[in-house]
Amino acid sequence: MADSAPAPAPPTVETLDLTYLFPDRTTGVSNINLSLPSRSRTLLIGANGAGKTTLLRLLAGKRMAPSGTIKVSGVDPFKDGLKGVTYLGLEWVLNQIVRTDIGVDELLASIGGDAYPARRDELVAVLDIDTAWRMHAVSDGERRRVQLAMGLIRPWTVLLLDEITVDLDVWSRSQFLGWLRKETEIRECTIVYATHILDNLAGWPTHLVHMHLGAVKGWGKAEEMLAEVDREDTGDKGDGLVIGAPGNSRLGELVLRWLRDDLKSRGPRSQHRRAPEGKSYAVGGIGGYGLEAKTAGREAM
Ligand SMILES: Nc1ncnc2c1ncn2[C@@H]1O[C@H](COP(=O)(O)OP(=O)(O)OP(=O)(O)O)[C@@H](O)[C@H]1O
């Protein structure tokens, strides 16, 4: 009788009342409840310091969350490993190998390009990479394109992206976003993407998560959240924070509104730090929180 391997768990991302505090016990993320289905493309939106990177690193298993508060593809990413999860963030961008005198072909082969030749060739084409480039002699954007190809060649099932497209020109970024979209359409995979750059993202996300002061202020299906824009008038509220420029996408308009309201509710940064409405950050004595994982072996390349 032939062995039948169990079907892989669907690549879902779930958090259950997830709280994580840094050692100062005042910053981090608190009480986060999300349930992102397979094949979703989620944008994490929030002002600088809202908690997006912290959340992504927790989802990637790079920080230890309290037991039972995170499940990625059905398992705890810290305890049970990162199979199928690709996290592309700052550490990956800063890796020095991509600044040395090494050729693109060699670099792509070193991270498994030869095992996935079709994906490698597709990414080289989508990201308009010249495989004759030497990495010490390319522009920032060219280097970023090679880094993206390196990070994406292996067929991930959950992709966690912390804004890593900043150096791409508009065309390359739109091609890249289109490729990501296609991935979720042709196979079981899921993307969570933290970004401040909304160009070419109209119609891209299936879900939106609005973060503010370490909490999720709202989340849901993108179309339902975008419907807010059609319902509300957003012009000048007499506070000098005018939005609603003609030509803004609905997504751009919604995000401007969110950030305007967040700024108003938070006040200037130099004022005292405030917890999100209805929440209070615990100070000290919470078992399991604030533990920075010893992640040397877990850091992305
Ligand atoms: N290692 C750390 N130790 C203590 N506090 C931290 C640490 N890293 C981040 N923070 C704090 O946690 C909060 C959330 O930071 P985080 O990097 O998650 O924000 P973000 O939404 O990704 O911001 P940005 O859009 O600027 O990248 C910030 O107030 C930040 O100062």
Q: Kindly report, residue by residue over 15-26, the tens digit of the pLDDT.
A: 999 999 998 888
pLDDT for the residue numbered 284: 30
Q: What is the dihedral of CA 90, 273, 198, 194, to 10 degrees?
A: 40
Residue pair 34/250 in contact by the 8 Å Cβ criterion: no
Please identify, by atom number, the ligand 1 atom nearest to the C-alpha of residue 214.
Answer: 14
Range with the poorest average pLDDT among 81-90, 103-112, 173-182, 228-237? 228-237
Of all protein residues, the one whose alpha carbon is nearest to atom 31 of ligand 1 is 49
Nearest alpha-carbon partner for 135 in 163, 96, 166: 96
Range with the poorest average pLDDT among 188-192, 243-247, 264-268, 275-279? 275-279
Name the residue type at position 179: W
Of all protein residues, the one whose alpha carbon is nearest to atom 29 of ligand 1 is 49
Q: Distance, CA 38 to ligand 1 centroid (Å)?
A: 27
Tokens of 164: 């890593």
Of all protein residues, the one whose alpha carbon is nearest to atom 1 of ligand 1 is 22
Residue pair 79/121 in contact by the 8 Å Cβ criterion: no
- Which DSSP letter does residue 291 get? -
Of the residues 20, 24, 53, which should be mutated to test ligand 1's pocket, given the most ligand atoms within 8 Å of the CB? 53
Residue pair 297/81 in contact by the 8 Å Cβ criterion: no
Nearest alpha-carbon partner for 195 in 58, 45, 92: 45
Distances (CA, A) of 223 to 203, 238, 250: 9, 29, 10
Of all protein residues, the one whose alpha carbon is nearest to atom 17 of ligand 1 is 53
Q: Distance, CA 53 to ligand 1 centroid (Å)?
A: 7
Of the residues 26, 54, 196, which should be mutated to test ligand 1's pocket, given the most ligand atoms within 8 Å of the CB? 54
Of the residues 22, 43, 198, 270, which should be mutated to test ligand 1's pocket, given the most ligand atoms within 8 Å of the CB? 22
Q: Distance, CA 49 to ligand 1 centroid (Å)?
A: 5
Of all protein residues, the one whose alpha carbon is nearest to atom 2 of ligand 1 is 22
pLDDT for the residue numbered 3: 57
Of all protein residues, the one whose alpha carbon is nearest to atom 24 of ligand 1 is 48
Q: Distance, CA 148 to ligand 1 centroid (Å)?
A: 23
Of all protein residues, the one whose alpha carbon is nearest to atom 27 of ligand 1 is 48
Measured in degrees and rounded to the nearest 5, phi and psi for residue 226 equal -70, -20
Residue pair 226/250 in contact by the 8 Å Cβ criterion: yes
Range with the poorest average pLDDT among 3-12, 28-37, 40-49, 145-154? 3-12
**At 234, is the pLDDT very low, low, confident or very high (cuts 50, 70, 90)?**
low
Q: Distance, CA 233 to ligand 1 centroid (Å)?
A: 32
State whether residue 88 is helix, strand or coil. strand
Of the residues 27, 30, 59, which should be mutated to test ligand 1's pocket, given the most ligand atoms within 8 Å of the CB? 27
Write out residues with Cβ below 6 Å of ligand 1: 22, 24, 27, 46, 48-54
Instruction: Kindly tell me the sign of the dihedral angle through the C-alpha atoms of 43, 15, 52, 263.
Output: positive
Other C-beta atoms closer than 10 Å to the C-beta of 2 total 3
Tokens of 222: 């993108």
Range with the poorest average pLDDT among 37-46, 90-99, 145-154, 273-282? 273-282
ipTM of the complex: 0.97
Q: pLDDT tens for residues 28-43?
A: 999 999 999 999 999 9
Mean pLDDT of 124-132: 94
Residue pair 87/55 in contact by the 8 Å Cβ criterion: no
Please identify, by atom number, the ligand 1 atom nearest to the C-alpha of residue 50.
Answer: 21
Residue pair 251/177 in contact by the 8 Å Cβ criterion: no
Nearest alpha-carbon partner for 264 in 253, 277, 247, 250: 277
Tokens of 133: 């480039």
- Is 52 a residue whose pLDDT tops 70? yes
